[in-house]
Amino acid sequence: VLLVASTCYSWTPILPRIRVTVPHHGSSVSLSMAQSGKGFGSTPEPPKKKVQEDVASSPEAPKPAPPVIPSASMNQGQKALENMRREQAEKRDAELRKVKEMIETDDLVREDAAAAAIPEKVAMRMGKRMLPFVGIPLFGGMGSFVAFWYFATYRDLEFQPALVAATTIALLVFGLLGITYSMMSASWDPEREGSALGFDEFGRNVNNLKEGLSRSKENAVIRERMAGMPEAEIQAAIRELDKRDELKKKKEQTLQSKIGSEME
């Protein structure tokens, strides 16, 4: 068997591989030559060129995420913004209420001129208080001048002119101050008489006078602002204010009724 196999087997010598480098567009091609029964062997395929990745088709680099604000600072900022908006709304509503009150007062005075006058009861009360607070100093000043003249003429007493003048002027000044005090110490409420000396009424009326002066200044500023605004816009803002006040009142009544039902 070995002999037959060695006879049938044809041995072919193997030639050494020859590497030939051929320049072709900057690349090298390797050729292998081997001896076979029919000549050169098959040429190996040139290596495939690597396909460069398209930069355009590559996915974009991820953008940096925006900084995350902590929820606590966001809540504080939102609360501060809400408080500022609420304060501005309350301030605007307060100005609208003043405008509404001023318009109502103007309409009332236009319809009834007697509304701006002092009530008759209050005027009579002021007149009654003027008798002691004005009459006594006034007649005292006149009586002091007569007394000085009598003692100087019939009693031969000498008085310095400065003393006579100072006493008379002081009593007259007290009389003038009595006019102011009698008006300010009277009760300005027609239904309330007030005290005899009027100390409490004087303090109360002084505070009312200060509030009236400050209100007059505010009304002057409001009238200047209203001068450049159309009447329709002012009336629309007042109507919106009335709606908000009515809605707020309904909510308060509903809350009070709920609390009362729960307590029952």
DSSP one-letter string for 154-166: HS-----HHHHHH
* Alpha-carbon gap, residue 208 to 252, rounded angstroms: 31
Helices 161-184, 136-154: crossing angle, 10 deg rounding = 170
Angle formed at CA 209 by CA 203 and CA 214, multiple of 5 degrees: 130
147, 154 contact by CB (below 8 A): no
* Alpha-carbon gap, residue 90 to 98, rounded angstroms: 12
144, 167 contact by CB (below 8 A): yes
Ramachandran angles phi, psi of 183, nearest 5°: -75, -40
Q: What is the pLDDT along the chain (264 residues), one digit of tens a residue?
A: 455 444 444 444 444 444 444 444 444 333 344 344 444 444 555 554 444 444 444 444 455 555 555 555 557 888 888 888 888 888 888 888 888 888 888 888 788 767 677 888 899 999 989 989 899 999 999 999 899 999 999 988 888 999 999 999 999 999 999 999 999 999 988 888 888 888 899 999 999 999 988 888 888 888 888 877 788 888 888 888 888 888 888 888 887 777 877 776
The pLDDT assigned to 44 comes to: 52
* Alpha-carbon gap, residue 122 to 191, rounded angstroms: 9
> What predicted TM-score, i.e. pTM, was given to this entire model?
0.51
Structure tokens at 69: 């604000």
The pLDDT assigned to 23 comes to: 45
Check residue 25 and give left, alpha or beta (phi > 0: left; psi -120 to 50: alpha): left
Among residues 183, 180, 210, 186, the alpha carbon closest in space to that of 198 is found at 186
Cβ neighbours of residue 106 closer than 8 Å, sequence gap 6 or more: none
Using DSSP's 3-state secondary structure scheme, residue 27 falls into strand
126, 182 contact by CB (below 8 A): yes
Structure tokens at 70: 């902590």
86, 143 contact by CB (below 8 A): no
Among residues 223, 184, 222, the alpha carbon closest in space to that of 204 is found at 184
Ramachandran angles phi, psi of 177, nearest 5°: -65, -30
